[in-house]
Amino acid sequence: MMKSIMSLSIAVALVVGADAPAQAQQPGSPRRATPTNSGQVAIPPELLALLRAGPNGGEALTAGVADILKKNPAMAMAVVALAKQGSPEQKAAIAQGYLRALAALKDVDARQAQALRAALAEADETLAAMVAALESQNYAEAGGHGSTFFSSGGGGFSTGPSGAGFSVSPQ
C-alpha cells in the first residue's frame, strides 16, 4: 500500500513538472537552470559532483544531500538551485535527502529547519511537489502527527489571480 502511495506521489510530481517547456536533453544529463533567485546561487563543486555521480538519482544522491544539509543548513539555497539542473529522478532523490535533513534538524535546531523550509520557496514546481508529497506520506505513515506543507504551520500550495504557486508560511 505505501509503495503504491509513494509511486502515485512521484507520478503526480512528475506530471506537475511535465508542464514545463521541453528542453533538448541527453538522457541522464542535468537540465540547465532556469533564471530565478536560486539560479543565481553559486553551486559548490561537491554538490555538482553528487549530481554527476547520480544521473539516475538514487540513495547516494539522497544521502549526500541529507548529509550536506545537516552539516551546513546554509547550503539549502544551493541545493534548491542544484535541483533545478537535475532530471526528475535526481529531483526525487534530492527531495528525499532534503526531507531527511529537515526531519533531523526540526527537533534539534528549529531555526535551521525553518531556514530549510524557507529555501523551498525558490524551488521549481517539480521539487516543491515532490517534497510536499513525500512529507505528506511521512505524515500519514506517522498517524497524522506533526505538520506538513498541507497542514498548519507548514506552508503549502496556493492558487490565485497569478496562478498556482508554492509558499512557505512563516513560523
Q: Give the pLDDT band (50/70/90) at residue 111.
A: very high
In contact, 147 and 154? CB cutoff 8 Å: yes
Residue 3 is given by DSSP the state: H
Q: Give the pLDDT band (50/70/90) at residue 64.
A: very high
Instruction: Report whether pLDDT(9) > 70.
Output: no
In contact, 78 and 41? CB cutoff 8 Å: yes
What pLDDT, on the 0 to 100 scale, is given for residue 10?
A: 56
What is the biggest distance separating any 2 CA atoms in the chain, rounded to whole angstroms?
A: 43
Q: Give the pLDDT band (50/70/90) at residue 106.
A: confident
pLDDT tens, 24-59? 334 444 433 333 445 588 999 999 999 999 999 999
What pLDDT, on the 0 to 100 scale, is given for residue 143?
A: 79
Q: Which candidate, 35, 39, 40, 142, places its Cα nearest to that of 99?
A: 142
Q: List the domain boundaries for the chain.
A: 2-14+29-167
Average model confidence (pLDDT) across the chain? 74
In degrees to the nearest 10, what's the CA dihedral of 87, 89, 95, 96? -160
